[in-house]
Amino acid sequence: MTYKAGIIGTGGIAGMGILGMHDAEAIGKEKIRASHAGGYDAARDIELVAVADVDEEKLERFGEAWDISAGRRYDGHEAMLEAEDLDVVSTCTPSFLHHRHVIDAAHSEASPSVIWCEKPIDSQVTNAKEMIAACEKTDTELVVNHSFRFTDKLQQLHRLIHEEDILGDVHSVSAQFRMELLRNSTHLLDTLVYLLDARAKTIGGFINGENEAAESLNATQPIDDAGGGGFVVMDDGTFVTIDCTIPRNVSSMTFQFIGSKGKLYLNNDDGEWRYWRLNNGEHIETPLPGIDESWTWEDDYKGSFENAANHIVDLLGGEANNHSTGVAALRSLEIIVGFYISHYTGSQVDIPLNRPLRDVLITSW
């Protein structure tokens, strides 16, 4: 059986390339494999058959690049969802539009069994909760594209932490990555909550107001998304410090975990993952079982889209449990929104957020 997929939004992550991640000469002009369309193209038993956008020029360019027939290139997502019978719908639009597009898809005549939503889940906690509720009501699996969850190495590391207990009780984590919080650092925060299997409890935040993407993309509309960070106390007691104020050209995605049985250092840019087992008060460097090399952007990030698409095929066939749910994605969004609220109110913030704090909107792409 071949499943049918459609995409809402024809921008970079849909299949045409992202500034800072892909070859500038290729962006917007040719197929980019590290994308939703690239994932579908590489995966088994699934075919991208339809696409929708309100920008006619982008729609036609995408359709030509990915060989979508002219009759299945739709002016707006409503037209596609009304005309097509789809097994999965990708939402590759700016984060502030995810709410509308996910809910519309879940309730549509297209009746998808899976919605593959680009990260972050949304720009507002209330919206994210409504998206999760809509998908639960319609029995639709909401898969959020936090790419690292779809790499074999990070999944193996998660098993080592939670099944082999290589860290014991995690006491402290420090993490660094580049700005901006929604557009980029959601990856860092999702990796944090994934590896800890925990949710934020108390947050103190700082926002620097700087946005490299706005300048690089010659944006004319001001947005809130910026660099920032702070501290987070997780509900398992882990104390976390986060710095996502670093410019792209000097940044590294790094983590250091310190636990009762060992410590772990991850650097995804320099290609270094190291683990030290604690033995009689002495840390002894030890290989990570089942992980020969570290996670890399070139191999693992680019391959994560094919892995995610294959995971979606497994979900459609009833052969897997959702590995990147909306509920999980909400945990990273809560931290980001918590940083903003803390910075602008000069106070610590408790999670879960109460109204009206859940309604705070962080504008981004």
Q: Where are the domains of the chain?
A: 3-147+301-316, 149-295
Sign of the dihedral through C-alpha 248, 128, 219, 57: positive
| 177: DSSP letter | E
pLDDT score for 28: 53
pLDDT band for position 269 (cuts 50, 70, 90): confident
Residues 6+ apart with CB under 8 A from 307: 39, 150, 151, 152
pLDDT band for position 22 (cuts 50, 70, 90): very low
Q: Cα 149–253–323 angle (5° rounding)?
A: 5
What are the pLDDT digits (tens) for 75-114?
A: 999 999 999 999 999 999 999 999 999 999 999 999 999 9
Instruction: Check residues 296 and 207 and name the one with the higher pLDDT.
Output: 207
Rg (CA), the chain: 20
Taking the alpha carbons at both ends of the chain, their separation in whole angstroms is: 35
Give yes or no on whether 3-147+301-316 and 149-295 have one common fold: no
Q: What CATH number does the domain located at 149-295 have?
A: 3.30.360.10
pLDDT band for position 24 (cuts 50, 70, 90): low
Report d(CA 184, CA 227) in Å as an integer: 9
Phi-psi group of 232: left, alpha or beta (phi > 0 → left; psi -120 to 50 → alpha; rest → beta): beta
Q: Give how far Cα 337 sits from Cα of 219, 229, 242, 243, Å.
A: 22, 11, 14, 15
Checking if the pLDDT of 123 tops 80, the result is yes
Compute the mean pLDDT over every residue in the chain, rounded to the nearest whole number: 93
Instruction: Check residues 38 and 34 and name the one with the higher pLDDT.
Output: 38
Mean pLDDT is lowest, of 41-50, 258-267, 298-307, 331-340, for: 298-307
Strand spans (E) along 73-199: 73-75, 88-91, 114-118, 141-145, 170-178
Instruction: Check residues 14 and 302 and name the one with the higher pLDDT.
Output: 14
Report which of 15, 54, 19, 10 is spatially closest to residue 37, judged by C-alpha positions.
15
Report d(CA 359, CA 333) in Å as an integer: 12
For residues 191-208, average pLDDT: 98
Greatest CA separation for the chain: 69
pLDDT band for position 212 (cuts 50, 70, 90): confident
For helices 326-345 and 125-137, angle between their N-to-C axes, nearest 10 degrees: 160
Q: Which CATH superfamily is domain 3-147+301-316 in?
A: NAD(P)-binding Rossmann-like Domain (3.40.50.720)
Q: Cα 308–180–237 angle (5° rounding)?
A: 75
pLDDT band for position 334 (cuts 50, 70, 90): very high
Checking if the pLDDT of 154 tops 60, the result is yes
